[in-house]
Amino acid sequence: MALLLYFIVYLLLAFVWRSLLVYKRSGQNPLVLPTRDDAYGYVGRAFKILIILVAAIVAINATAPNWMSLLGSLQLLQNSLFKQVGWALLAVSLLFLLVAQAQMGNSWRIGIDENNRTELVSKGLFSFSRNPIYLSMRINLIGLFLVLPNAVTLALVAVGEVLMQVQVRLEEAHLHSLHGAKYMEYRSSVRRWL
């Protein structure tokens, strides 16, 4: 049940609350995932499916834990040390995500906003990583895997990794077209992840 509560809080703080806050401050909808039939639209749809699958796994664990064995349990990782590390990663991930979102301010978006110009954020966590929000999401999926080590959560880590690698590159192309030389200077001085 604790994992279910964590993910409810995570979704509410990271997506709902932050979206409402940006909308209230800027009047712009920060949810800009397209439904087009291109790479960007595909990644957006796949991210939605990934979130639904994570929610389903967490809900199954909370409501029917005996079903978890059907998901290809990885016995080698079924111990308290891995669970504790997983929980620590989940906590760090949420904190890291919230700080990065706050530092982005009104520039925060879910997706690429092609209609509204956003500022290039390069301070705070963004001075160490060009993508601290995606980095925190990667950490979150690894934490989930360590708390619930099975074939399905391992697959979610792998799928999430591919999606985030593609999405980051799409966003980098957008930021380059938006900010030009300023973005290229930032890109050359700050690593993509860490």
Q: Is residue 64 part of a domain?
A: yes
Predicted pLDDT at 33? 84
Beta bridge partners of 150: 73
Q: Is residue 149 part of a domain?
A: yes
Number of domains in the chain: 1
Residue-range definition of the domain harbouring residue 15: 2-189
Q: How confident is the model at residue 75 (pLDDT cuts 50, 70, 90)?
A: confident
Contact 121, 104 (CB under 8 A): yes
Average pLDDT over every residue of 45-63: 95
* 128-176 pLDDT, tens digit each: 999 999 999 999 999 999 999 999 999 999 999 999 999 999 999 999 9
Q: CA 89, 91, 97: angle at the middle one, nearest 5?
A: 95
CATH code for the domain in which residue 125 is found? 1.20.120.1630
Instruction: Check residue 180 and report its DSSP letter.
Output: T
Predicted pLDDT at 150? 96
Q: How confident is the model at residue 36 (pLDDT cuts 50, 70, 90)?
A: confident
Averaged confidence pLDDT in the chain? 95
Q: Is residue 194 part of a domain?
A: no
Predicted pLDDT at 46? 95
**Radius of gyration for the alpha carbons in the chain, expressed in angstroms and rounded:** 17
